[in-house]
Amino acid sequence: MKKFIMKYVLYLVRWQLSTPILAVCVVWLKDWPTTWSTAMANLIGGLGFFWIDKLIFTGKLREEWEIRENVLCCDCGKQSRGYRLVFKKGYDKRDDPKPEFRCEACSITKKQQIDAAMQPA
């Protein structure tokens, strides 16, 4: 419940931050009919605030995985489709010179370990 309230408060703050931006757009487009200038202001606001809303509601901007066929799992040695977590907040293996691929079961276990290590104590 605490996490939900925090997201809600962040969303309300974000909503208030959009007001001056939208107001500037409406003033800038003052020669347009009110409906059109309001619609354009909302479109401009949506282009910018989509990313902020995504961060608020998902807690992450992105998570990137790489998948390869017919690899040996670096944990159990099983040959199968291989997965590796490449990037997420606080974890970046994009420039890893020796990427480690895991079978589906081992990749789930590894992701759980990464997530647990990133949790605040």
Residue with tokens 């408060």: 9
**Mean pLDDT (the chain, rounded):** 85
pTM of the model: 0.49
Q: How many CB atoms lie within 10 A of CB 83?
A: 21
Name the residue type at position 114.
Answer: I
Percent of the chain past pLDDT 90, that is, above it, reads 31
**What's the token pair of residue 57?**
């509601």
Residue with tokens 């977590």: 85
Burial (Cβ within 10 Å: 0-12, 13-18, ≥19) of residue 10: middle
pLDDT score of 97: 94
- Separation between Cα atoms, residue 68 and residue 86, nearest integer Å: 13
